Amino acid sequence: MSAVWRTARAAVRRRRLQTTVIGLVVLFSTATIVVALGLLDASSAPFERAFAAQRGAHVVAAFDGTRVGTADLTRTAEIPGVEAVAGPFAQVVLDIPADGAAHSFLSGPVTVVGRADPGGAVDRIDLWAGRWATGPGEIVLNAVPPPPGRPSPFPLHEKISISGRAAFTVVGYAYSLTQTATAWVSPEQAAALRPTSIQMLYRFTAAATEREIDAGMAAVTGELPSDALVAAQSYLVVKQAAAAGPGVYVPFLMAFGVLGLVTAILIVGNVVSGAVVSGFRHIGILKALGFSPRQVLAVYLVMVCVPGGVGCVLGTVLGNLAAEPLLGNAYQGLGFNPGDSGVPVWVDVVTLLGIPAIVVLAALVPALRAHRLSAAEAISAGSASRAGRGLRIQRWLSGTRLPRSVSLGLGLPFARPGRTTLTMAAVVLGVTTVTFATGLASTVTGYADATDGNDTVGVRANPPGSELETPSSLTESQIEALLRSLPGTSRVTVNLDLEFSLVGSTQPVRVIFLHGDVGTQGYPDQLVDGRWMSRPGEAVVPSKLLRERGLAVGDRITLELDGRQGAVTVVGETMEGPPGPPGILADRQTLAELAPDRQLANHQFLFQVQLASGADVQGYLAAVRAADPGLYAFDNAGTDSFSVAVVSLAATLTLMLGTVTALGVFNTVVLNTRERRRDLGMLKSIGMTPRQVTVMMVTSMAALGAVGGLLGIPLGMLAHRFIVPLVADAAQIGVARMLLHVWQPEVLGMLALAGVVIAVVGAFIPARSAARLSIAKVLHNE
Amino acid sequence: MPAPAATSSFAAMTSEDSTGQVVVRLDALRKEYGDTTALDGVTLQIRSGEAVAVMGPSGCGKSTMLNMIAGLDRPTSGTVTVHGEELGRLGETGLALFRRKRIGMIFQFFNLLDDLPALDNVALAGQLTGIPARQSRRRALELLDELGIADRRNIYPAALSGGERQRVAVARALMNRPALLLADEPTGALDSSAGEQVMDLLLDLNQIGQTLLLVTHDQGLATRCATRLVELADGRVAGERTLERAA
């Protein structure tokens, strides 16, 4: 065994470049695989992961404090089947008026719970901004944190007024996955608010199904007064609700994960098997020296396993480091904050076992072939004459008008069809990934732009009667005129949101009346089916609402407001409307027909302003406030966390896969150079310049890159075409044509270049080193 | 297969230098590889039309000297001037262009490209200089024809005999009408019959004016083809004499 080890060690030392390449390829591939598997894990069980991290409540229960005492509720923790409890907590529902927290997302009925701290055995709340509420008048609001590195969109120290009750100061923002409250205050503050119920949070030993949860709750309430339980919410309901949102994200993550996995494995296989094949002559010499076939096999396995093992360990570390912010972003995109967004342990275990197995397998296949060859055959295998189509192509190329260095380079890939195929596959997958990522980024940003209200600035009038803000005295049309007159304004759409009864349905429906620059501000771009409204009495409805209400384009629906009914015709289906719950979109003139007597106040309107290119958003906001202190203008141009997550994912994985692919190409050129040292020396001896040698070697890979580009682009486009509708379906939205037609000729041209660039970048360094080969040494060594 | 006879058309393959000009001038040439001195102050001149054989024991610096003259390696000190061009002044690209125009090389192991048939191996040298493919092939075919292996033009090197391969290599070396033909053990890998053919070929080439520098262990080759013998020992010129060609 010592002879095997000594020989392998010497071979590793002698082949430093090859050892380094194997190590680097395995390192980057492993890192990519760790990130890819982490993404697959995130996409397959994001809720479970976040739920486990927060020790979410299986049941959030509210008890009537007049029917059951806190001592009785505390004793429920001892009931068999109850794993852990949190509570009792005083709970009260406060009604925050629309002007109570004018600048935050908070209004309407909110559940406020008194908790001394965010920790505990159940529902470990993530306090991500500010501090916990400890004193009177302090409140912590429940909100999803922003993506890592991005500032919070919610201000601290905001005042919230509640008519007739109290005024609070927001001292922190926290997040409870199971939504145990809308806001938290200290227990003393909760007591002062005259709580109406007592909250208990339960975790059960068995809670996988609704039946098990019902059984758990039956055990809990069994010894309590029959009407003590006011309400109970299972985590399964929250999970189901969460699935509709995160569903948008899952196919993106999976597609990237699978692409990363396949490309990385292919390249590891290519590099390792190439290293063994290039060592056939060495294998023959070892056999001639008296090494048994098994010993030769062992030498080669050790040779590739040493750098492979080191690369695997370092790659796992790098993958974990790279995955953390990436997965953090991904979870944010899913709307979860799992606290620890690191790679799960199983990914590290699978990678640390799987990658070495792939390395061994990739080495084993050609090594077994060498194992079967006689010493003489192995020695001559590296320089054996080749025949067939490859040679015919090379001959044909030599007769073309191309410069000889170019035609020789174009012929090189045909000399080693197996290696060329593997390298080509890697380039194809690389280009497919780049294409898919580019299309996806365009789609996602297009989607975000389209559904972001198509504005950069939103403006509202402060409501009258507010103690906190000065109301505006301007009318709706005066505000519109004011905004249009401000420097930097490009377009303005005025948006009025009213709730109507939908005749034939028990639930009301939101109707958004638009006027202004609707046509040029992106709304019609969101059309999925039908056409945009062209006259009063026509409406366009978001896909989600159409499905929920069982409507279709062409339907005529009757709406009722203020006791007056009117009909509108659905003429188009759109992806989504302005921010908020989906609503029917109609022209402002339609309101005049449906509710001509409706009195409207200026604060009911949202003015969506699109700024001219290059306009300073913050300067514009200041200008609005200066023009009328009664107006509240806010920056609405920021990209949402979903876009940030997808685009950052796309960029990072594309970069990693591009690096791995370029390393694969690098390795192929290194091997080709080594195999062709004699040929290169001869070519230089008859007058081939270093530049021509570089051109020849780079051309050989650029050709693969060009073909890879031509194959990878349609594959990437197909993946985009296939996955985007899946995403849309998961999110219950139709696919607007603009989301699929993201391919511009110049973009496709750039993508076609991507394969060539990856190949050329990978080939350039070894090609330069080939050009610098010492002819005297190479030819003399023969 | 008999060696081709020297003919007037064969003469058109070689350079048109007038006899007597100094083609190669080595001045105090020294080459060290680490602690080893391969060449130790070699001074030598080769005139146009000469056939010089360099002989000596293994490791005496024969091949190193050949490499210096071909511009494949650079001296530690001293100068190499070929056809009036001091090679030390040339960069890598300049050396490549110099080899392309001025030098033809024949190696012991032929160094043909396995992926190209005989004709394209020869034409390659012409194509590298920018001669169009068709024209290069035409000249390559003429050369192969003169060397008696035109019928083997479409055969790949692996299927050629050693002698045929070396003749293809000679044809390639002559493709650009070099001022100097360098041959490093040109018969070293051939059997005696093929070796004889190559010797005849080199003799014919020199007789029609091709300047020739042979590096060899083969006394027979030297006495048959060379007009002057230079003996190297320990990196120095140990002796030099004019040869009478064997009949």
The whole-angstrom separation of Cα A56 and Cα A50 is 8
Query: Domain end: A609, A637, A665, which one?
Result: A637
What is the number of structural domains in chain A? 4
Question: Phi/psi at A561 (nearest 5 deg)?
Answer: -150, 140
Pair A410, A461 in one domain = no
Chain A residues with CB under 8 Å of B106 CB are none
User: What DSSP designation does A94 have?
Assistant: E
Q: Which of A637, A666, A686 is the last residue of a domain?
A: A637
Task: Report the C-alpha gap between A693 and A408 in whole angstroms.
Answer: 10
Record: contact B137-A399, CB cut-off 8 A: yes
For β-strands A564-574 and A538-542, DSSP reports them as parallel
DSSP state of A91: E
In whole angstroms, what is the distance from residue A358 CA to residue A142 CA?
Answer: 46
**Per the CB < 8 Å rule, is A685 touching B97?**
no
CB atoms within 10 A of CB B60: 20
CA distances from A578 to A88, A493, A571, A589 (A): 41, 11, 18, 18
Residues of B within 8 A of A684 (CB-CB) are: 72, 96, 99
- Would you place residue B213 in the very low, low, confident or very high pLDDT band (cuts 50, 70, 90)? very high
B31 near B61, Cβ under 8 Å? yes
Containing structural domain, residue A614: 457-637
**CB contacts < 8 A (A, B):** 107
**B171 against A373, higher pLDDT:** B171
Among residues of chain B, what percentage have pLDDT more than 70? Answer: 91
**What's the pLDDT at A338?**
46
**Do residue A285 and residue A423 come from a single domain?**
no
pLDDT tens-digit map of B7-60: 444 555 555 454 568 999 999 999 998 888 999 999 999 999 999 999 999 889
Phi, psi of A280 (to 5 degrees): -55, -40
Minimum CA–CA partner of A773 in chain B: B72
Q: Are residues A493 and A417 in the same domain?
A: no
Confidence of residue B86 (pLDDT cuts 50, 70, 90): very high
A587, β-bridge pairs: A514
Distance CA A152, CA A155 (A): 7
> Which residues of chain A lie closer than 8 angstroms to B159, CB-CB?
385
Tokens encoding A81: 């089947």
Q: With beta carbons under 8 A apart, name residues in chain A contacting B64.
A: 776
Q: Is residue A105 part of a domain?
A: yes
Which pLDDT score is estimated for A156? Answer: 74
Same domain? A594 vs A580 = yes
Q: Determine, yes or no, domain membership for A58.
A: no
* Least CB–CB distance from B133: residue in A386, A399, A776: A399
Q: How far is A424 from chain B (nearest CA, A)?
A: 21
- Residue entry with tokens 């970048």: A761
Query: Residue B174 is encoded by which pair of tokens?
Result: 């002559």
Contact A394, A416 (CB under 8 A): no
- CB-CB under 8 Å, A400 with B133: yes
CA A256/CA A265 separation, integer angstroms: 14
Residue of A nearest to B129 (CA): A687
Closest CA to B119 of B143, B87, B90, B148: B143
Facing B63 at nearest CB: one of A684, A690, A780:
A780
How many Å apart are CA A700 and CA A669, to the nearest integer? 9
The residue among A412, A677, A685 with the most chain B CBs within 10 A of its CB, best to mutate, is A685
Q: Is residue A235 part of a domain?
A: no
* Residue A183 in domain: yes
> Sign of the CA dihedral A377, A382, A388, A391?
negative
Q: Say yes or no for a CB contact (<8 Å) between A686 and B109.
A: no
Cα angle A647, A652, A658; round to 5:
120
CB B175 within 8 A of CB B15: no
Same domain for A153 and A219: yes
Instruction: Give B116's contacts in chain A (Cβ within 8 Å).
Output: 394-395, 398
Inter-chain touch A687–B63, beta carbons under 8 Å: no
Cβ–Cβ below 8 Å for B93 and A400 = no
Instruction: Let me know: does A565 contact A557? Beta carbons within 8 Å.
Output: no
Inter-CA distances, A426 with A187, A265, A560, Å: 60, 9, 61
Of the residues A396, A397, A398, the best mutation for testing chain B's interface (the one with the most B CB atoms within 10 Å of its CB) is: A398
Can you tell me the distance from the alpha carbon of B240 to that of A337, in angstroms, rounded to the nearest whole number?
89
Rounded to the nearest 5 degrees, what angle is found at the Cα of B80, between the Cα atoms of B75 and B85?
130
Among B105, B45, B55, B52, residue whose Cα is nearest residue B81: B45
Instruction: Say yes or no: A71 and A113 in one domain.
Output: yes
- Chain A CB contacts of B101 below 8 Å: 687
DSSP secondary structure letter of residue A341: -
Residue A597 falls within a domain, yes or no? yes
Tell whether A325 is covered by a domain.
yes
- For residue B115, give the 3-state DSSP assignment: coil
d(CA A588, CA A512): 9
From the CA of B38, how many Å to the nearest CA of chain A?
13
Cβ(B233)–Cβ(B223) under 8 Å? no
Pairing relationship of beta strands B180-184 and B211-215 according to DSSP bridges: parallel
Q: Mapping DSSP to helix (H, G, I), strand (E, B) and coil, where does residue A278 land?
A: coil
Measured between CB atoms, which of A394, A685, A772 is closest to B99? A685
The pLDDT of residue A478 is: 92
Contacts of B100 in chain A (CB under 8 A): 686-687
Indicate whether A44 and A70 sit together in one domain.
no
Cβ-Cβ contacts under 8 Å, A782 against chain B = 107, 109, 111
Residue ranges, chain A, pLDDT below 70:
1-2, 42-46, 95-109, 146-154, 162-166, 240-258, 260-261, 288-289, 326, 328-342, 370, 374-390, 448-455, 465-469, 505-507, 577-581, 636-646, 727-735, 778-782
Q: What's the Cα-to-Cα distance from A182 to each of A82, A179, A320, B216, rounded to whole Å?
A: 25, 7, 34, 95
**Does a cis peptide bond (omega within 30 degrees of 0) precede residue A508?**
no
Which domains, ranges and CATH numbers included, belong to chain B?
18-242 (3.40.50.300)
Selection from A634, A578, A639, A626 nearest residue A457 by Cα: A634
pLDDT at A256: 66
Q: Are A641 and A150 in contact (CB under 8 A)?
A: yes
- Distance set, CA B166 to CA A181, B52, B69, B112, B185 (Å): 90, 20, 21, 9, 11
Partner-chain residue, chosen from B92, B120, B129, that has the shortest CB–CB distance to A398: B120
Residues A212 and A309 in one domain: no
| Residue that finishes a domain, picked among A182, A204, A227 | A227
* Chain A positions in Cβ-Cβ contact with residue B127 (cut-off 8 Å): 398, 404
- Asked if A269 and A362 sit in the same domain, the reply is yes
The answer to whether residue A236 sits within a structural domain is no
Residue in A401, A687, A775 closest to B129 by CB: A687
pLDDT in tens, A159-203: 777 655 567 888 888 888 888 888 899 999 888 888 888 999 999
Instruction: Give the chain B residue nearest A380 (alpha carbons).
Output: B158
Q: Same domain for A584 and A464?
A: yes
Question: Which residue's structure tokens are 């620890």?
Answer: A340
Q: How many angstroms from the chain centroid is the CA of residue A208?
A: 28
> ipTM score here?
0.78
Task: Compute the distance between CA of residue A352 and CA of residue A347 in angstroms, rounded to an integer.
Answer: 8
Put simply, the answer to whether A687 touches B100 (Cβ < 8 Å) is yes
Cα dihedral: A748, A751, A753, A758 (round 10): -170
A383 to chain B: which residues are within 8 Å by CB?
Answer: 114
Domain membership of residue A360 (yes or no) is: yes
- Chosen for mutation from B58, B64, B113, B185 (greatest number of chain A CBs closer than 10 Å) is B113
State the alpha helices, DSSP H only, in chain B: 8-11, 62-70, 92-102, 118-128, 133-146, 162-174, 192-207, 219-225
Which residue numbers of B have CB closer than 8 Å to A's CBs? 63-64, 67, 70, 72-73, 92-93, 96-97, 99-101, 103, 105, 107, 109, 111-117, 120, 123-125, 127-129, 132-134, 137, 156-159, 172-173, 176
CB contact under 8 A, B93 and A690: yes
Q: Please, which residues bridge with residue B80 across strands?
A: B26
Contact predicate A500/A511, CB 8 Å? yes
- Among A45, A51, A42, A340, residue whose Cα is nearest residue A180: A51
Q: Are residues A365 and A395 in the same domain?
A: no
What's the maximum distance between 2 C-alpha atoms anywhere in chain B?
50
Nearest-Cα residue of chain A relative to residue B133? A399
**Are residues A649 and A330 in contact, defined by beta-carbon separation less than 8 angstroms?**
yes
How many angstroms away from the CA of A17 is the closest CA of chain B?
Answer: 23
Are residues A1 and A46 located together in one domain of the fold? yes
